[in-house]
Amino acid sequence: MSDQEHGFDTLAIHAGAAPDPATGARATPIYQTTSFVFEDTQHAADLFALRAFGNIYTRIMNPTQAVLESKVAALEGGTAALAVSSGHAAQLLVFHGLMQPGDEFVAARQLYGGSINQFNQSFKAFGWNVVWADAEDPASFEKALSEKTKAIFIESIANPGGRITDIAAIAKVAQKAGVPLIVDNTLATPYLCKPLDHGANIVVHSLTKFMGGHGNSMGGVVVDGGNFDWTTGDKYPLLSEPNPSYNGMILYETFGNIAFAIALRVLGLRDLGPAISPTNAFNILTGMETLSLRMQRHCDNALKVAQWLKEQDTVWWVNYAGLKDDKHHDLAKKYCPNGAGAVFTFGLKGGYEMGVKVVSNVRLLSHLANVGDTRSLIIHPASTTHSQLSPKQLELAGATPDVVRLSIGIEDANDIIADLDQAMSA
C-alpha cells in the first residue's frame, strides 16, 4: 500500500500485508520456522548489533508476527507494535521496560480480575508495587502519585462492568507527572476507541478477545504511541542510558519514536521469551480482517439485550454505557461513538444463588472464562474470574455476588434474548 491515508476497513485488511514475494500467495503465510538463514557473516553481525532490521529467531521476530504488528499499529495510530503470547505477557513486558525494583505504578481498581491479581501478587516478585485509584475519579490518580511512580494503567472499557474511562482526564494527570499512560484497549478495540488520540502513550491488548474474535488463538500486543519523551526526569534508564547488551547503545537516541517497542522486543521478549506462535498470529490476522463488521454487530446486539434486561422484573440493574440513562453514556458517546462494546454486567434480585442458577441454565450462551468471541458468553465473576478477590475488592472491581457478566456475540439478537429468558425463568 501507499503511504496515503486509508479508512479503517482498508487498513484492517491490507495494513502490513503484501503478496508473498517468494510464491505470490495473497494471504499472509504461516512462517512455521524457528530461525532464519543469514545472508553472510556481516549480515548476521549487523542483525545482532541492531544495525539492521531482520529475522533471527522466532522468539524475537517472525514475518507472520510482523504483519500482525504492523496491522495493529496502523489501526491504533501507533508508531510500532510488538505481538506476544497473551495479554498478560504484553503487560509483563510493558512494566519490565518501565520499572525497577521498588518502583510504583498507579492503576484503576476497575480492571479485569486477572490483571488485579497480576499487579497485586506476581509483580511483587519483581519489586514492582501497585497503588490503586478510582477510574470514576480522575483526581484520585493524582493523589496516588509519588516520586516512585513510573506509569499509570487503565482500561478504556473496564472489565467486567463495561464502564467507560475518561481517558483524556487521566492522561492530563500522567502528562503533568511526566509518566506514560498505559491503556488496555481489549474490550473496545481500535474500531470503538483509539486511546492514543486522547493522550495515551502505550496501548495493550489481549488479542485473544475481540481482535482475533473467534475464540481459537491466544495472543497479546503492545502498541508504542511514539509520543513520550523517555529522557523525562531520568526515570527510564532502559531507554535513556547506555545499554550493556548492545555495546552502550542508547535505545531512545538510536530509535526515536519506536524506541519503546524496540526495547521490549530486543530486551524483554529476548530474555523473558513470551513469543506468540506464527499459527496464532495467522489466526488473529484472519479475524482482524472482519473486525469492524463484527464489532458493530456485537454492539448492536448488546444494546438490544441490555434494553430487554432493563424491562425484566427479576433484574435489579443493568450496567451498559450504551443505554441512554446509564451514567457513562456521555463518556461512551465521546470515546466510543460507534458503540459501547459488547461486555456488560447486570444484577439479579436473587443475588449470588440466582446468578449461579441462570449461568447454569443457559443453552445457547456458553459458560466460559473469555470475552470477545463470535458466540455469546456468560459467567458469574464472583465465583470464577474474580473469586480470588476479597469482598471489598469485588465491590470496587464491580463484581459483587449478584453480578452476571455477558459478552454478547454476533448471533441473532432475538435468540440470545430467548435463551436468557428461559434461563431466568427456569
Per-residue pLDDT of 318-337, as tens digits, reads 999 999 999 999 999 999 99
206, 325: one domain: no
**Cell triple for 349:** 434480585
pLDDT at 355 over 90: no
Asked if residue 223 belongs to a domain, the reply is: yes
Confidence band, pLDDT 50/70/90 cuts, at residue 426? confident
Helix/strand/coil (H/E/C) assignment for every residue in the chain? CCCCCCCHHHHHHHCCCCCCCCCCCCCCCCCCCCECCCCCHHHHHHHHCCCCCCCCECCCCCHHHHHHHHHHHHHHCCCEEEEECCHHHHHHHHHHHHCCCCCEEEEECCCCHHHHHHHHCHHHHHCCEEEEECCCCCHHHHHHCCCCEEEEEEECECCCCCCECCHHHHHHHHHHHCCCEEEECCCCHHHHCCHHHHCCCEEEEECCCCCCCCCCCCCEEEEECCCCCCCHHHCCHHHHCCEHHHCCECHHHHHHHHHHHHHHHHHHHHHHCCCCCHHHHHHHHHHHCCHHHHHHHHHHHHHHHHHHHHCCCCEEEEECCCCCCCCCHHHHHHHCCCCCCCEEEEEECCHHHHHHHHHHHCCCCEECCCCCCCCCEEECHHHCCCCCCCHHHHHHHCCCCCEEEEECCCCCHHHHHHHHHHHHHC
- What value does the mean pLDDT take over residues 16-44? 95
Give the CATH number for residue 264: 3.40.640.10
What is the distance between the alpha carbons of residues 1 and 8, in angstroms, rounded to a whole number? 14
238, 342: one domain: no
Name the percent of the chain lying above pLDDT 90: 88
Asked if residue 3 belongs to a domain, the reply is: no
pLDDT: which is higher, 352 or 195: 195
Tell which residue, 135, 173, 155, has the closest CA to residue 327: 135
Is the CB of residue 92 less than 8 Å from the CB of residue 274?
yes
The domain tally of the chain equals: 2
Average pLDDT value for the chain? 95
255, 336: one domain: no
What is the distance between the alpha carbons of residues 142 and 92, in angstroms, rounded to a whole number? 24
pLDDT: which is higher, 350 or 324: 324
Residue 109, pLDDT score: 93
- What value does the mean pLDDT take over residues 222-249? 95
Residue 183, pLDDT score: 98
Residue 90, pLDDT score: 98
The pLDDT tens digits for 168-192 are 999 999 999 999 999 999 999 999 9
Asked if residue 396 belongs to a domain, the reply is: yes
Is the CB of residue 291 less than 8 Å from the CB of residue 299?
no
> What is the residue range of 265's domain?
8-287
**Cell triple for 32:** 512455521
Give the CATH number for residue 369: 3.90.1150.10
The pLDDT tens digits for 258-297 are 999 999 999 999 999 999 999 999 999 999 999 999 999 9
137, 277: one domain: yes
Residue 229 β-bridge partners: none
Residue 161, pLDDT score: 80
185, 131: one domain: yes
331, 191: one domain: no
314, 273: one domain: no
pTM for the whole structure:
0.95
Boundary (domain end) residue, out of 265, 287, 309: 287
104, 127: one domain: yes
Confidence band, pLDDT 50/70/90 cuts, at residue 223? very high
What is the distance between the alpha carbons of residues 63 and 66, in angstroms, rounded to a whole number? 5
94, 221: one domain: yes
Boundary (domain end) residue, out of 235, 265, 287: 287
Q: How many CB atoms lie within 10 A of CB 215?
A: 18
251, 394: one domain: no
What is the distance between the alpha carbons of residues 16 and 404, in angstroms, rounded to a whole number? 39
Asked if residue 356 belongs to a domain, the reply is: yes
What is the distance between the alpha carbons of residues 135 and 165, in angstroms, rounded to a whole number? 6
Boundary (domain end) residue, out of 287, 307, 329: 287
pLDDT at 70 over 60: yes
119, 187: one domain: yes
Tell which phi-psi region holds residue 339, choosing left (phi > 0), alpha (psi between -120 and 50) or beta: left
Tell which residue, 199, 162, 119, has the closest CA to residue 406: 162
The pLDDT tens digits for 296-314 are 999 999 999 999 999 999 9
- Residue matched to cell numbers 521469551: 273
Range 140-166 burial, b when 16+ CB lie within 10 A, else e: bbbebbeeebbbbbbbbbbbbbbbbbb
Asked if residue 1 belongs to a domain, the reply is: no
- What value does the mean pLDDT take over residues 107-126? 94
What is the distance between the alpha carbons of residues 225 and 234, in angstroms, rounded to a whole number? 20
Confidence band, pLDDT 50/70/90 cuts, at residue 4? low
Distance, C-alpha 342 to centroid of its chain = 15
pLDDT at 393 over 90: no
- What value does the mean pLDDT take over residues 148-175? 95
Asked if residue 2 belongs to a domain, the reply is: no
Residue 412, pLDDT score: 98
199, 256: one domain: yes
pLDDT at 350 over 90: no
What is the distance between the alpha carbons of residues 111 and 398, in angstroms, rounded to a whole number? 9
Going 307 to 311 to 313 to 316, the CA torsion angle's sign is positive
- What value does the mean pLDDT take over residues 81-87? 98
